[in-house]
Structure 1
Amino acid sequence: MEVDYLIVGQGIAGTMLSYYLLQQGSTVIVIDQYNPFSASQIASGVINPITGRRFVRTWMIETLMPFAAFTYKCLEKELNISILQQAQLLDFHTTPQMHLAFSNRLPNETEYLSIPDDTNQWNSYFNYPFGVGEIHPVWLVNLQRLLQTWRNKLRELQVLIEANFHAHNLQLFSNGIQYEQVSAKAIIFCNGTQAADLPYFQKLPFASNKGEALLLNIPELPRQNIYKKGISLVPWQDDLWWAGSSYEWSYENTLPTEVFRQKTLQQLQQWLQLPFKIKAHVAAERPATLERRPFAGMHPYYPHIGIFNGLGTKGCSLAPFFAKAFSEHLKNGQPLLPEVSIHRFHKILRP
């Protein structure tokens, strides 16, 4: 079988890249072994324009967020599904200092930050002695529905190989690659942290970390908001709530830990005044980067090998814009932003 591109991985990166490549008329094969505990599968799906203890805008959010919302709305129409919800994030301050930091930031960030008209309206749901602020708009993407529906689409098109990728079966030639029965002009790795183990990308500054979350049943909690107080409570699929997440930089494995479970339970019991039940405990390894910028582009010394990866915790906002940019780069040579192009690492990537 001959195609233009072989894409390895069908998380949010591989999904968006295959979507745009097919949209522009390229032919693709996606190879992916379904993993219900991949980073994309257990992510919260939140696009939040404000980040950190200083309540600053996330990188390029003025461009990324509206582009992502437009893209997901297009996918809703094309796939006949509902995956996008606009919400507000209620940030219950954890300390007087965080309340002050929010108040100090408020006059200079009126586009996304505000104080609710009635700050006492959630007293029957939560304990929050240090007040509450609001971040709006925030988008919520049903990633699990999107990934599954797109997977079904790839099956219908007969362009999905449901198997693990084995690097030893990859052959490089002067005019492209061969992988088992597939010939392609190029192969592009969208397979998260597994890409860091490939000889072509081992030197890239990946900074993988582990995240955990509890999936909860909280039937009395209104689902039109996202709630945050140290941890986040996000409306999730099947009427569940996603409670998390952790950022672990040192870990022996990617399994859920009792330490996270007990710590999160303690936080919930101090904050939430409603009854809840734990339905599941999940964990995954995120493909983050030291610079907190994605990796995109073709290898400077192996022109038929590419990567679209390193989206970290912001895959829902980063993937649509940079997948589109990468597809246009592949089609007509449009330059990638220097901040994401892997050519910025051409010195360390030298064989």
Structure 2
Amino acid sequence: MKQVDYIIVGCGLASIAFCEQLRKHNKSFVVFDDCSQKSSIVAAGLYNPVILKRFSEVWKAKEQLNRSLPLYKKLEKDLNIKIDYKLRILRRFFSIEEQNKWFGASDKPNLEPFLSTQLVKNTNSHINAPFGFGEVLHAGRIDTETLIINYKAFLKQNNYLEEVAFNYSNVQFETNLIQYKNYQGSHLIFAEGFGVKNNPFFKHIPITGSKGEILTIKAPDLKIDYAVKSSVFVIPLGNDLYNVGATYNNEDKTNTPTEAAKEELLSKLKTFVKCNFEVVNHVAGIRPTVKDRRPLVGRHFEYKNLYVLNGLGTRGVMIAPFVAQKLFQFIENNETLDTEIDVNRFTS
């Protein structure tokens, strides 16, 4: 029987952030992952402190950035990889009225650090932007695929990873311990994204799930080193490659790319990108979304050593390190969870 402090299910952004809390505090753990959940690995990976549809601040943006960016810098060093790409994000204006709303928003104290007050004029003949752009500050992109592939390799090398599906029926409860197959742990953390829908212990939590699809295009003439947000995002990856996304589908719960989403993205892209390109990749994943747009963090209402770390929605890159620390402090130091993220806000 192998003794560990924590058994973790899932190996996406939430799990990685929590594992880093455990490593920081010298806790032993094992991770179970069967690669069934795709949302973290196919994510666009933007960290953007502004909701660009409404020109409003992302929930706890400053706290999230202060927690997440140092973690990704540490992971780059520990894993000897490059994952954090600082990136200008330019919001394409549709009218003079939108310009005025942008500059009005930039006067608000909570948005002032993130919204440039300089109108950016369009100088690229392959982009249609007659009203110019507003620039988001302190933004960038995390290469989530590179992170997850390398982190799982690190876990495997150190015997922290079991690459098999987790069988909920094999969980046994002992006094202050969880037994699962040949492991005994003090705590069991479910960080399985939309896969929690199959979890009998947390089947009551309101994960709705939103399918997102992203295209990768090759556009040799576009030549931009900044992201453009219009009706879709265009995100530079280097070597004339760009991600285009994303869609939102609350009905389809499969990871299969669809022709309808592809056509939707291409139709929107062609309204403002005016050069030739070819589609070279198309991926899909189910985001773990919640109706009140807040994470689901905390302890099971009955089993006191079962926990959930989920509901990161569309902003997992920023939220994961923030909520992982909150959950760790809750378990280890009995710190109170904020009501707005506590999973038990939905327990009647």
TM-score, normalising length from structure 1? Answer: 0.92
- Counterpart of 1:119 (choices 115, 118, 121) is 121
Q: Identify the residue that residue 146 of structure 1 maps to in structure 2.
A: 147
Q: Identify the residue that residue 246 of structure 2 maps to in structure 1.
A: 245
Matched residue count: 345
- Contact 1:215/1:241, CA 8 A, preserved across alignment: yes
1:273-284 matches, within 5 Å, as 273-284=274-285
Q: Gaps (5+ residues) in structure 1?
A: none
Deviations 1:313-338 (A, max 9, x none): 11000111211222222222222222
Displacement, 1:273? Answer: 2.0
1:123-138 matches, within 5 Å, as 124-138=125-139
Which amino acid in 2 is paired with 1:75? L
- Contact 1:53/1:101, CA 8 A, preserved across alignment: no
**Structure-2 change in CA distance of 1:179 and 1:154 (3 Å):** same
Within 2, Cα distance between the matches of 1:237 and 1:290? 36
**Structure-2 change in CA distance of 1:24 and 1:238 (3 Å):** farther
Q: Identify the residue that residue 155 of structure 1 maps to in structure 2.
A: 156
Within 2, Cα distance between the matches of 1:239 and 1:63? 34
Which amino acid in 1 is paired with 2:116? S
Deviations 1:130-179 (A, max 9, x none): 33211112121111111111111101110100011121222222322121
Within 1, Cα distance between the matches of 2:197 and 2:128? 42
**Structure-2 change in CA distance of 1:303 and 1:56 (3 Å):** same
- Contact 2:86/2:140, CA 8 A, preserved across alignment: yes
Within 2, Cα distance between the matches of 1:183 and 1:234? 44
Q: Gaps (5+ residues) in structure 2?
A: none
Q: Identify the residue that residue 344 of structure 2 maps to in structure 1.
A: 343
- Contact 1:213/1:242, CA 8 A, preserved across alignment: yes
Q: Identify the residue that residue 288 of structure 2 maps to in structure 1.
A: 287
Within 2, Cα distance between the matches of 1:284 and 1:2? 34
**Structure-2 change in CA distance of 1:250 and 1:99 (3 Å):** farther
Within 1, Cα distance between the matches of 2:240 and 2:4? 40
Within 1, Cα distance between the matches of 2:239 and 2:6? 35
Displacement, 1:112? Answer: 1.4
- Contact 1:79/1:149, CA 8 A, preserved across alignment: yes
Displacement, 1:26? Answer: 0.7
Greater Cα shift, 286-295 or 103-112? 103-112
- Contact 1:288/1:313, CA 8 A, preserved across alignment: yes
**Structure-2 change in CA distance of 1:73 and 1:181 (3 Å):** same
Which amino acid in 1 is paired with 2:333? N
- Contact 1:69/1:139, CA 8 A, preserved across alignment: no
Within 2, Cα distance between the matches of 1:163 and 1:100? 53
Q: Identify the residue that residue 218 of structure 2 maps to in structure 1.
A: 217
SS at match of 1:4: strand
Displacement, 1:252? Answer: 5.9
SS at match of 2:314: helix
- Contact 1:53/1:98, CA 8 A, preserved across alignment: no
1:1-351 matches, within 5 Å, as 1-35=2-36, 38-95=38-95, 97-108=97-108, 109-116=111-118, 118-122=120-124, 124-222=125-223, 224-236=225-237, 240-251=241-252, 253-345=254-346, 347-348=347-348
- Contact 2:296/2:342, CA 8 A, preserved across alignment: yes
**Structure-2 change in CA distance of 1:270 and 1:342 (3 Å):** closer
Which amino acid in 1 is paired with 2:194? T
- Contact 1:295/1:342, CA 8 A, preserved across alignment: yes
